[in-house]
Amino acid sequence: MNRNNHSKHIALKQVKINDSFWNNICETVRNNVIPYQYLALQDKIEDAEKSYCIDNFIKAANVVSNLNNGIEVETYPVDKWYYDEKNADEKAFHGWVFQDSDVYKWIEAVGYSLQNHPDKALEAKAREYIDIICSAQLENGYLDTLYIINNRHKTFSNLKDFHELYCFGHLVEGAVSFYEATGDKKLFDAAVRFADLICDTFGKDKINGYPGHEIAELALVKLYEKTKQIKYLETASFFIEERGKTPFYFDKEQGTKTDGSSYKYNQAHMPVKMQKEALGHAVRGVYLYSAMADIAKYNNDAQLLAACKNIWNNIVNKKMYITGGIGATAEGEAFSFDYDLPNDLAYCETCASIGLIFFAQRMSELEINSQYSDIIERALYNTVLASMAEDGKSFFYVNPLEVLPIASREDSRKKHIKTVRQKWFNCACCPPNLARLVSSIGKYIYSENDNIIFVNQYIGSEIKNDKAEIKMVSDYIESGEIELHIKPKKAFTLALRIPAWCSEYEISYTDKIRNGYAFINITNDICITAAFNPKIKMIRCSNMVKYNIGKIAVTRGPIVFCIEEADNGKNLHLLKLCDKPNFIYHNGIILANGYREKADDYLYQDYKADEYEECTIKFIPYYKWANRKENEMSVYVRIK
Amino acid sequence: MNRNNHSKHIALKQVKINDSFWNNICETVRNNVIPYQYLALQDKIEDAEKSYCIDNFIKAANVVSNLNNGIEVETYPVDKWYYDEKNADEKAFHGWVFQDSDVYKWIEAVGYSLQNHPDKALEAKAREYIDIICSAQLENGYLDTLYIINNRHKTFSNLKDFHELYCFGHLVEGAVSFYEATGDKKLFDAAVRFADLICDTFGKDKINGYPGHEIAELALVKLYEKTKQIKYLETASFFIEERGKTPFYFDKEQGTKTDGSSYKYNQAHMPVKMQKEALGHAVRGVYLYSAMADIAKYNNDAQLLAACKNIWNNIVNKKMYITGGIGATAEGEAFSFDYDLPNDLAYCETCASIGLIFFAQRMSELEINSQYSDIIERALYNTVLASMAEDGKSFFYVNPLEVLPIASREDSRKKHIKTVRQKWFNCACCPPNLARLVSSIGKYIYSENDNIIFVNQYIGSEIKNDKAEIKMVSDYIESGEIELHIKPKKAFTLALRIPAWCSEYEISYTDKIRNGYAFINITNDICITAAFNPKIKMIRCSNMVKYNIGKIAVTRGPIVFCIEEADNGKNLHLLKLCDKPNFIYHNGIILANGYREKADDYLYQDYKADEYEECTIKFIPYYKWANRKENEMSVYVRIK
């Protein structure tokens, strides 16, 4: 591993965003999504599915108070993934076993938001939740409302299914974010206490288990980065090293003896260093792979890095939608087999694409290669942005590439394909995940090492650090034009990502091109301009993906486009693009020449050529779909 | 309704089959399938799923004996669709709630077989089962082992789910068949006693229920035809008339109040005369529609006939695969919405295509129109024949049109798609259904009314009746050539079906062509020859079926062909037929010119033309697929 190739993203606090495309989205998250989710966590959104999240913390705080006062505490079973009015005692825990994580993710988003947009009222709301959370923590540092409410004697007895280490991970991430924003250590200290308990509990000669749903690993690395306490890195490494070893810890825990194949779901079917294929639950997968990249870096572990690369290549070459969606199958919210990327059955969970961004960023910090930021861009501008309505008040959990409303109604194989965004979800992992990602978007723009500042995403912004002051003015999405006004404090190298989609570009000055970056030695104040021509393209998906044969997708710059019934009428599958479609782009919309096939009168007839009439096909960005009404949508279009 | 257009199939006993194509299949069923199933019903096939069928009858006979001897009888719950070692008491009923029907269908097949192939040993085996069955009948005529074993006080309390009227229907069909073959009335009398109990139980001012799984209706019509007792027809009519009326009987039975939409599964969501679309469980559907056609005929009910026609048109124009498969979705083994005919997720239960044949035959007897026998042919030569291995020892329940073994292994959405035929099924409705259909194939060849003998299927055979002696020599599948040697006993009209697939044919003498039949007035001994050119065709599926756009299916005569990996290598989806493929037919195989696309190296790349090499594509009949080893298969092939 070549440490010279390592880099680190420039901290969020140092990045001030001012971008024609992103300002609006960031404001929507700040002004609408975060306040909306504050209410959702307390079940104050009308007609939305229930969260129970804050309610559980209040119940748990009550348990803790009773314990402190020597009042006897009832117990309830911990035997299901989901609890509600129908299957649980009123006084017991409600919601999914990972319900706590929603408030942690919200606090994380708030923390990111506060770093560049101080807001006393919002800070107070977060503190209100932090107070409730901290009052629910047990004396020994343990903090998971499911077990505290239902049965604190059973903690860590079912790591495979019951998510307390997952909630811990999100607690740490939320706590670090809020601490970095405000300097307030209350939640951070609570997280450290729980982390210390976990480090005391798991490891060599202790419990040799690991999380069923990964994230604690990368959270512990964050805590290590923040505190420099080696035990957090060691426990994270232990979780990674131990995972998938035989005899399987999950077997031991469950009192069974299996061949481990069912643990593919948890990426725990074999030691992680032997894994070459992205398998199982997609979000778990990318959280694990992110942590593997972290540990590879800190432990200088070339084998672990090789495993990360194998898995990365498997994802981006065989298991990723053009939208950056991953996890093709609803069963287990999981990766399917190579090239199985159906458009109309796709799962493409929002969280999975966010996790892919986490993985990509860590890989990008391990080696100089623009592909990682290319994939971040793909996932971000397409799946992630599509998951939120324009008003920030409804969300997609699942992000299909083809929608036929009747199929979602009538075909139970497609019941996971929602045709309109939902106000909330009883399993609400995605909206707060989106909020934390968009609030921290500044982290993905720049990275640096000793000599180089990398520009990875072209989002208008300013940074100031010991190397330089840089102001980036970006019209990346519309014209592809960028200006970088640079005032160096010392000589350094600027590295501009050349987007993979871009075959025609001009950069006002370049010293060399390597690994997808244009390197420019900066010694004096300078304005570098770049123009990445966002030409409209027809993209061919590999013919190994049988669903897309004979079809193309239309892209412009990083944006994947789609067709909707609202613009093109019903039966989108009858449309066909001309092979020279004379694309016209105007105001975010693409018009193209095409044909509409006449619907056949007979179910079966002798082969004949298609009958069609000429028509104009209208494309809109995929991330804007389903903002009008329920209707058909398709990313891929047939081509003549 | 014009009674002049009615006809009736010529009875099985009068039809002696001698056909180059069918002899082999009928012998396989007679010599292999029927003996094999005799053993399967007693769980004597190694490594096959359990039947429990005869075992249940023995248990029930034991209950009856105890009751007769005043010995106390234990009860067990009737609360599930399936019972086995894991969830039921050893002494209780085992298997599916409809397990009894398997032996009835086997007896029905035996009866048909014996009609033209007397076999004392086989007859003795059937009598052995009949004795066991009859000894399990309650004093009052009731005969369903689930309730007799588990709780005889709960009979007829859950018509919606628990199939006792379904088992009754199959009992009647088996009993009639065996009685017609042997003159032995033992089982027939048992069926009549149960039928009498049912007529006493259900009707106006009695229980106003109807079967959750239809078939009793058409069985009661058979009993009426056999006995001329009007009460059987009346009870059948009552079941049909009452079905789907509000308030819903199933609501009453379940103690709920619903909008009836969940009863679409049972075709009981609205009165049958108002139904226009084939909905719900496909086998239940076609059994109901068959009975509706029967009742329309006997009650001279034009409204009911109109409903049959609407539903028929919906099936054959919007919900039927090219193989005659119906029921596109595994969820509920049901019809999907119009034009939703996915190849790789298809359900196409064997029983459903058999039921479609029943429905078609009844429609064919109601009006002179060759389309009904065309559909019988389509279902018979493709889905039905494909369901049995060449050796008659393994079977398909589900008949997909596209198979990718890795998808069946890895993708739980496709777990119902078996890549090789199974020895037996715990839900074993299909193999005995196949046995009874093939054993009665003679019923589908000829029909007649006062003046006309119709030749509906070109299967070599002889008949003798009061109109004529006819000997048909058929090479229909290979050359399409037919000879009909006719010795009339009086003047009559012969009507030869002109197959819908046939655009080029010669018939040596024709008086007129009407409704898809060539009519020939016969007065003297004559030999009529016909040649239906079984030209290889490329068939276009409607572009409303989005899965088949850009593809064609290859047929020759009534036979649908497919491509298999064993002949064409992996990745069948990369094959493409030339638009002028120069088909060569030899010995059941079709060779064609085509291309194999080079697999793409990149998951996403700028649009480019396909790269390909020329190749020969080899087709085999669909009904022969999966007789070599597990491999890819596809009916539809792309066309350049």
Whether the CB-CB separation of B405 and B45 falls below 8 Å is answered with no
Q: Which residues of A touch B318 (CB under 8 A)?
A: 603
Q: Rounded to a whole number, what is the distance in Å from the CA of B496 to chain A's nearest CA?
A: 22
Q: Between B423 and A240, whose confidence is greater?
A: A240
User: In this predicted model, what pLDDT tens digit does every residue of A271-280 receive, in sequence order?
Assistant: 999 999 999 9
Q: Which residues of A touch B340 (CB under 8 A)?
A: 407, 410-411
Q: How confident is the model at residue A91 (pLDDT cuts 50, 70, 90)?
A: very high
Q: DSSP strand E in A46-93: where?
A: 82-83
Q: Which residues of B touch A331 (CB under 8 A)?
A: 411-413
Q: Which two tokens stand for residue A320?
A: 């990723």
Q: Do A340 and B571 touch (CB under 8 A)?
A: no
> Which among A320, A552, A571 has the least Cβ separation from residue B603?
A320
Interface test with B, best of A603, A611, A638, A640 (most B CBs within 10 A): A603
Q: Could you tell me if A570 lies within 8 Å of chain B, comparing CB atoms? A: no
Other CB atoms within 10 Å distance of the CB of residue A541: 24
Q: Which two tokens stand for residue A598?
A: 């006449």
Q: Rounded to a whole number, what is the distance in Å from the CA of B141 to chain A's nearest CA?
A: 41
Q: Do B597 and A543 touch (CB under 8 A)?
A: yes
Closest residue of chain A to B317, computed from CA coordinates: A603
Size of interface A-B (CB pairs under 8 A): 132
Q: Could you tell me if B540 lies within 8 Å of chain A, comparing CB atoms? A: yes
User: In this predicted model, what pLDDT tens digit does every residue of A103-144 receive, in sequence order?
Assistant: 999 999 999 999 999 999 999 999 999 999 999 999 999 999
Q: Mean per-residue pLDDT for A174-179?
A: 98
Return the pLDDT at A5: 85
Q: Rounded to a whole number, what is the distance in Å from the CA of B572 to chain A's nearest CA?
A: 10
Integer Cα distance of A1 and A366 in angstroms = 9
Q: Which two tokens stand for residue B42?
A: 């007693």
Return the pLDDT at A412: 80
> Would the pLDDT of A430 be above 90?
no
Q: Which residues of B touch A406 (CB under 8 A)?
A: 337
DSSP B10: P
Whether the CB-CB separation of A276 and A267 falls below 8 Å is answered with no
Q: Which residues of B touch A407 (CB under 8 A)?
A: 337, 340
User: In this predicted model, what pLDDT tens digit does every residue of A298-316 receive, in sequence order?
Assistant: 999 999 999 999 999 999 9
Q: Which two tokens stand for residue B79?
A: 């609360």
Return the pLDDT at B14: 95
Q: Which residues of A touch B316 (CB under 8 A)?
A: 603
Whether the CB-CB separation of B100 and B110 falls below 8 Å is answered with no
Q: Do B599 and A544 touch (CB under 8 A)?
A: yes
Which distant-in-sequence residues (6+ apart) come within 8 Å of A172 by Cβ? A191, A194, A195, A216, A219, A220, A222, A223
Q: Do B337 and A406 touch (CB under 8 A)?
A: yes
Closest listed residue to residue A129, CA positions, set A37, A12, A64: A37
Integer Cα distance of B550 and B218 in angstroms = 42
Closest listed residue to residue B291, CA positions, set B230, B249, B232, B378: B232
Q: Rounded to a whole number, what is the distance in Å from the CA of B287 to chain A's nearest CA?
A: 23
Integer Cα distance of A253 and B152 in angstroms = 45
Is A531 in a helix, a strand, or coil? strand
Q: DSSP strand E in A404-445: where?
A: none
Q: Rounded to a whole number, what is the distance in Å from the CA of B327 to chain A's nearest CA?
A: 12
Integer Cα distance of A115 and A103 in angstroms = 18
Q: Rounded to a whole number, what is the distance in Å from the CA of B338 to chain A's nearest CA?
A: 10
Q: Do A537 and B317 touch (CB under 8 A)?
A: no
* B contact residues 407-446, partner A, Cβ 8 Å cutoff: 407, 410-413
Q: Could you tell me if A546 lies within 8 Å of chain B, comparing CB atoms? A: yes
Return the pLDDT at A626: 96
Return the pLDDT at A49: 86
Which distant-in-sequence residues (6+ apart) come within 8 Å of B603 by Cβ? A316, A317, A318, A320, A541, A542, A545
Q: Could you tell me if A137 lies within 8 Å of chain B, comparing CB atoms? A: no
Whether the CB-CB separation of A212 and A250 falls below 8 Å is answered with yes
Integer Cα distance of A286 and A435 in angstroms = 18
Q: Do B337 and A607 touch (CB under 8 A)?
A: no
How many Cα atoms sit within 13 Å of B182 on the Cβ side? 27
Return the pLDDT at B640: 87
Q: Which residues of B touch A542 (CB under 8 A)?
A: 599-605
Q: Could you tell me if A535 lies within 8 Å of chain B, comparing CB atoms? A: no
CA distance readout (Å), A304 to A210, A284, A299, A357, B541: 17, 17, 9, 19, 51
Q: Rounded to a whole number, what is the distance in Å from the CA of B74 to chain A's nearest CA?
A: 33
Q: Which residues of A touch B540 (CB under 8 A)?
A: 600, 604-608
Residue spans of alpha helices (H) in A517-569: 565-568
Q: Could you tell me if B479 lies within 8 Å of chain A, comparing CB atoms? A: no
Q: Which residues of A touch B610 (CB under 8 A)?
A: 543
Q: DSSP strand E in B44-170: where?
A: 82-83, 95-96
> Which among B317, B336, B407 has the least Cβ separation from residue A603?
B317
Q: Which residues of A touch B573 (CB under 8 A)?
A: 543, 546, 549
Q: Could you tell me if B329 lies within 8 Å of chain A, comparing CB atoms? A: yes
Q: Do B540 and A600 touch (CB under 8 A)?
A: yes
Q: Could you tell me if B320 lies within 8 Å of chain A, comparing CB atoms? A: yes
Closest residue of chain B to A346, computed from CA coordinates: B413
Concatenated DSSP letters for B572-637? GGGEEE-SS---EEETTEEEEEEEEEPPPS-SEEE-----EEEEEEEEEEGGGTTSSSS--EESEE
Return the pLDDT at B471: 98
Backbone φ, ψ for residue A54 (5° rounding): -65, -35
The type of residue at A257 is: K
Return the pLDDT at A158: 97
Angle subtended by helix axes B100-116 and B164-182, to nearest 10: 20
User: 10-residue block means of pLDDT along chain B (640 residues)?
Assistant: 88 96 94 92 89 97 96 95 94 96 96 96 97 98 98 96 97 98 97 98 96 98 98 98 97 96 97 98 98 97 97 98 97 95 96 98 97 98 96 92 94 87 76 91 97 98 97 97 98 98 96 97 97 97 96 98 98 96 97 97 94 97 96 96
Q: How confident is the model at residue A640 (pLDDT cuts 50, 70, 90)?
A: confident
Question: Beta strand pairing status for B604-606 and B536-541?
Answer: unpaired
First-last CA distance in chain B: 48
DSSP B331: G
Closest listed residue to residue A282, CA positions, set A328, A318, A242: A328
> Which among A316, A539, A601 has the least Cβ separation from residue B607?
A539
Q: Do B550 and A549 touch (CB under 8 A)?
A: yes
Integer Cα distance of B39 and B30 in angstroms = 14
Q: Do A607 and B544 touch (CB under 8 A)?
A: no
Q: How confident is the model at residue A429 (pLDDT cuts 50, 70, 90)?
A: confident
Integer Cα distance of A229 and A480 in angstroms = 44
CA distance readout (Å), A133 to A41, A359, B367, B602: 13, 29, 76, 48
Closest residue of chain B to A408, computed from CA coordinates: B337
Which distant-in-sequence residues (6+ apart) come within 8 Å of B201 by Cβ? B156, B207
Closest residue of chain A to B612, computed from CA coordinates: A543
> Which among A317, A340, A550 has the least Cβ separation from residue B407?
A340
Integer Cα distance of A572 and A69 in angstroms = 66
C-alpha radius of gyration, chain B, whole number: 25
Q: Which residues of B touch A608 (CB under 8 A)?
A: 540
> Would the pLDDT of A35 be above 90?
yes
Torsion, Cα A487 A493 A496 A497, to 10 degrees, reads -150
Q: How confident is the model at residue A422 (pLDDT cuts 50, 70, 90)?
A: confident
Closest residue of chain A to B332, computed from CA coordinates: A412
Residue-averaged pLDDT of chain A: 96
Q: Do B541 and A610 touch (CB under 8 A)?
A: no
The type of residue at A435 is: A
Q: Rounded to a whole number, what is the distance in Å from the CA of B317 to chain A's nearest CA?
A: 6
Q: Which two tokens stand for residue A213?
A: 């749903």
Integer Cα distance of A519 and A433 in angstroms = 34
Is B469 in a helix, a strand, or coil? strand
Whether the CB-CB separation of B441 and B409 falls below 8 Å is answered with no
Return the pLDDT at A200: 98
Q: Rounded to a whole number, what is the distance in Å from the CA of B555 to chain A's nearest CA?
A: 10
Q: Do B543 and A639 touch (CB under 8 A)?
A: no
DSSP B447: E
Q: Could you tell me if B318 lies within 8 Å of chain A, comparing CB atoms? A: yes
Which distant-in-sequence residues (6+ apart) come within 8 Å of B284 by Cβ? B212, B213, B214, B265, B266, B267
Q: Do B544 and A320 touch (CB under 8 A)?
A: no
